[in-house]
Structure 1
Amino acid sequence: MALKTRSNVAHAALALAVSLSLGAGPLAVPARAEVKPAGPESVADLAEGLLDAVVNISTSQNVKSDDKAPIPQVPEGSPFQDFFDDFFKGEDGSNQPQTVNSLGSGFVIDPKGFIATNNHVIEGADDIEVNFANGSKLKAKLVGTDPKTDLALLKVEPKAPLKAVPFGDSRTMRIGDWVMAIGNPFGLGGSVTVGIISARGRNINAGPYDNFIQTDAAINRGNSGGPLFNMKGEVIGINTAIISPSGGSIGIGFSVPTELAENIFLQLRDYGETRRGWLGVRIQPVTDDIAESLGMTETKGALVAGVIKGGPVDNGSIMTGDVIVRFDGKDVHEMRDLPRVVAESPVGKAVDVVLLRGGKEMTVKITLGRLEDGEKQADPADEATPDEGTTEEGTAPDTEEQALPKNIETVLGMGIGELDEDARKTFNIVESVKGVVITEVAPGSAAAERGIVPGDVIVEVGQEAVTTAEEVKSRVAKLKSEDRRNVLMMVSNRTGALRYITVRID
């Protein structure tokens, strides 16, 4: 009887276990939730409609060989004599030009045959050929280039309208959005890769208008000039550069955003060249020390270090020492924002510029000039930058037999004196520079840390012009009495290039 009872209990337990394992009855274990794969389910339909608009670009360039290596010698009468002569020598016995080939990508932006790509894909090419997805090939001519953004526009003559792709608005794209790249990696032909936008506004020091989209969609050699699409099939970037120690994709690729590229392609198509807006100022970053010295509540904007003579604002509307914080409705968060937004603006457009002057915010109306004209008329002093020639400037001239400046004083680790004719000859300072000359800089001083060198000239202290060493000393003393930690000075180098520098008050 006991055995029967145990048996019945065992059978009941077994039945319950089977019931639970099969998920039957009210005590059933819930089924495991289905795990969906990351990313879009498929981009096949999207890619199918775009592949025909993406092209492979093949270029060739004739390069004259200057190889001075000796030509291999073969025995007289050797059956290889003709081969060696043809391969290593031209008809006149000189080295033959070599043909260098390269591959890249591009995409059709106009059914009439306009094709966008990178400048470095076609730079220096003697022959450009465009290969389409259907196997057809067409010779292309160069319409125009823009090396500053590494963009170029080509033109082919198709027998029928080409499949073109539209531009999208890259400004609406967010970090984490899915994107698709199509190109010609390693010359393999049309290839599709998918990823996300990893970052925006990247500066990789490729040019003055860096504002790259960073993506982890695989981009390799040969993808240059190809399009980066959003999930609507619109071009939101032109694939341009990668970071890779091996040359292959490691998930860090960069694309020129269409907010910058679209207008450039339109200008190249219409004019064969770019026509950028120009403000006519030299600028430098606003550092924390400069912001504090100017009484700014936050570090932002672009500090005007000089106004180009004959430029659009050479009428007093914008002055040296102003901080531009907003341009044509766009905030200028940091210095590099200003050149980009100005360049994107049409030539001749009247814009509002918000700036800080003397601690007060004000708005001025500016009519933009053309950058390309400004680059032609700029004088050497305007084009010089604070960092140019630091080695030469850092070496004090031989003053053994030359007269030193008069009324030498010492302040902030600098020897300063009158900028007279003797001083100009001693330090080779141009006549246009006015102020107080720096005759020596103590090693390890706050001034030396800021890159100040003998021959530099102090033009302003605390945004007030100075002409004597005593004025410099009194202004510094006043700032020190106000418990200021830094002195803001405008300093000119020997050629007249101006820059603002903050020097710590010891």
Structure 2
Amino acid sequence: MKKITTLLLVSIFGGAITLGSYKLFIEKPNYAVVTEDAGHGYFNTSYSPTSAKGSGINEVDFTIAAQNTVNSVVHVKNVTMSSGPTTIMEFLYGSGGSQRPQVGTGSGVIISPDGYIVTNNHVIANANQLQVTLNNNKTYTAELVGTDPNSDIALLKIEAKDKLPYLAFGDSNNAKIGEWVLAVGNPFNLTSTVTAGIVSAKARDLGGMTNQSFIQTDAAVNPGNSGGALVNTNGDLIGINTAITSQTGSYVGYSFAVPSNIAKKVVEDIMEYGNVQKGILGINTVRSSTPYAIENGINEVDGVYITSVEEDSGAFDAKLQEGDILKKVDDIVVHKFPDLVGYISTKRPGDEIKVTIDRAGKMMEVPVILKERQTLVVPVMGLEVKNLNKEDQKKFKTKNGVKIVGVPESFRGYGLEGKVLLSVDNKEINDISDAKNLFGNISKYGKTSITMINEKGERERIIFQ
């Protein structure tokens, strides 16, 4: 009994020595230091949840969006007729010359069950015949409802017996940079093909292409994708694929889509009015990369610097001024001009917007009612003309005509500026739309006569050759 007790005491004593040695010599202390510092606490930690699947693309499910999209994207065939010599004899002597069909292809998106299809204007330009092939290989003859070359959007219509699968427009303003998107189209004459990428940038300006604002994505887009769908992972249509930047004509990393809010507005205008109703703010600015902008520090401005305000515009009525910096329009923050253009393109004449401006360091919110464009530059001669307001009509004693407010250098010796243009080749002008059409029909090589009136009521007629 004494031996057992002795062994037990030795074991307990040995264990105590072992535990004490570990605590004293091996285990490192872990202290939590608390101070009474009144400053902010900084924690080198993260509360981001970790997925057992891993992060990134493995967590994104594209299958539902793809399944809902592919049947709503169609193949568009554009048949145009070109005439020219087909043999060497016809080429040399000019006899004969037959018309030959040329075929262009692209994509389109069904946006209603009764067969309305949105595509790019450049896909259907100059078409003599349009054909649409669905993903189930059924082919229909399509009718061109209307186009808007400025936004590169066109609307087609096919007649099908059954209701068609379609995509509803989403809100492109809600698209986020870094968000996963799918591009669906018919590249290389294949049936609906899906590629994935992210939104690389918003309100992207393509420079000399158009005065337009695009969504930039790195989803692969190739010839034939034009007019196809850009959708988010919910299957919402947030853009119409339009262009790529490439020296070879094939995809090299970036593609561009017309935002769905712009495409939707264009489609609705074509269906309701037959043309696009464009609301104009009425301000002018300069590109940030120009020498003038650099010399005057405008290139460093966060927002849109107003260099001038157009007379009789919404901005003119709201008393916006040169030197104002436009920072926000409604809920859209404006960092650069395409931010503004992209939002205004979704509005119509008569719509009211709230513009936030920085005027000499003071922030102001100003309501502005958008108007129709009052000025434009006519084709061929390049004159800038403006619709007559009531003051102009009273001063020149005429209700018809357009006022010449800008003259290119080649015509400055004729005394045109400030006068009212009444007619071109004896055809009456009522507004800037008439002026655009009439000047667009004149020949660069023939004679053109214009009739004007000055402030004294004297009529002048000038013939240009």
Per the normalisation by structure 2, the TM-score is 0.64
Alignment partner of 2:280 out of 273, 278, 284: 278
2:243 is aligned to 241
**Distance (Å, rounded) in 2 between the aligned partners of 1:196 and 1:341:** 22
CA deviation vs aligned residue, 1:308-356 (integer Å, no higher than 9, x gap): 3443344572334443333334333223333333332232123333334
CA deviation vs aligned residue, 1:431-465 (integer Å, no higher than 9, x gap): 76xxxxxxxxxxxxxxxxxxxxxxxxxxxxxxxxx
1:54 is aligned to 73
Displacement, 1:172? 2.7
Displacement, 1:289? 8.4
CA deviation vs aligned residue, 1:279-334 (integer Å, no higher than 9, x gap): 2333224689879979x9x7133333333344334457233444333333433322
Deviates more, 1:230-239 or 1:38-47: 38-47
CA contact (8 A) 1:39 1:178 kept: no
**Distance (Å, rounded) in 1 between the aligned partners of 2:173 and 2:301:** 24
Displacement, 1:199? 2.9
**Distance (Å, rounded) in 2 between the aligned partners of 1:336 and 1:198:** 15
**Distance (Å, rounded) in 2 between the aligned partners of 1:112 and 1:144:** 17
The number of equivalent residue pairs is 345
CA deviation vs aligned residue, 1:245-284 (integer Å, no higher than 9, x gap): 3333223222222132222222222223211211233322
1:329-340 aligned within 5 A: 329-340=331-342
SS in 2 for 1:63: strand
**Distance (Å, rounded) in 2 between the aligned partners of 1:343 and 1:35:** 41
Structure 1 residue runs of 4+, over 6 Å off? Answer: 33-37, 286-294, 376-379, 428-432
CA contact (8 A) 1:284 1:335 kept: no
**Distance (Å, rounded) in 2 between the aligned partners of 1:62 and 1:286:** 43
SS in 2 for 1:261: helix
**Distance (Å, rounded) in 1 between the aligned partners of 2:349 and 2:72:** 32
Aligned residue identity for 1:347? P
1:434-449 aligned within 5 A: none
Alignment partner of 2:183 out of 148, 156, 181: 181
1:99-248 aligned within 5 A: 99-205=101-207, 207-248=209-250
**Distance (Å, rounded) in 1 between the aligned partners of 2:362 and 2:120:** 44
Displacement, 1:231? 1.1
SS in 1 for 2:240: strand
**Distance (Å, rounded) in 2 between the aligned partners of 1:238 and 1:165:** 12
The change in CA–CA distance for 1:40 and 1:130 in structure 2 (over 3 A counts) is farther
**Distance (Å, rounded) in 2 between the aligned partners of 1:240 and 1:330:** 24
Displacement, 1:164? 0.8
Gapped regions of structure 1 (runs ≥ 5) = 1-32, 74-87, 394-423, 433-506
The change in CA–CA distance for 1:280 and 1:72 in structure 2 (over 3 A counts) is closer
2:39 is aligned to none
Aligned CA-pair RMSD: 3.9
Gapped regions of structure 2 (runs ≥ 5) = 1-51, 387-406, 419-465
Aligned-residue sequence identity (percent) comes to: 33
Alignment partner of 1:269 out of 271, 274, 278: 271
The change in CA–CA distance for 1:355 and 1:286 in structure 2 (over 3 A counts) is farther
CA contact (8 A) 2:377 2:385 kept: no
**Distance (Å, rounded) in 2 between the aligned partners of 1:178 and 1:381:** 44
The change in CA–CA distance for 1:301 and 1:430 in structure 2 (over 3 A counts) is farther
2:383 is aligned to 380
Displacement, 1:358? 5.2
Aligned residue identity for 1:105? S
The change in CA–CA distance for 1:259 and 1:37 in structure 2 (over 3 A counts) is closer
Displacement, 1:137? 1.2
Alignment partner of 2:369 out of 367, 370, 382: 367
The change in CA–CA distance for 1:60 and 1:34 in structure 2 (over 3 A counts) is closer
1:304-383 aligned within 5 A: 304-315=306-317, 317-357=319-359, 360-371=362-373, 374-375=375-376, 380-381=383-384
1:381-396 aligned within 5 A: 381=384
Per the normalisation by structure 1, the TM-score is 0.59
Aligned residue identity for 1:268? I
CA contact (8 A) 1:286 1:335 kept: no
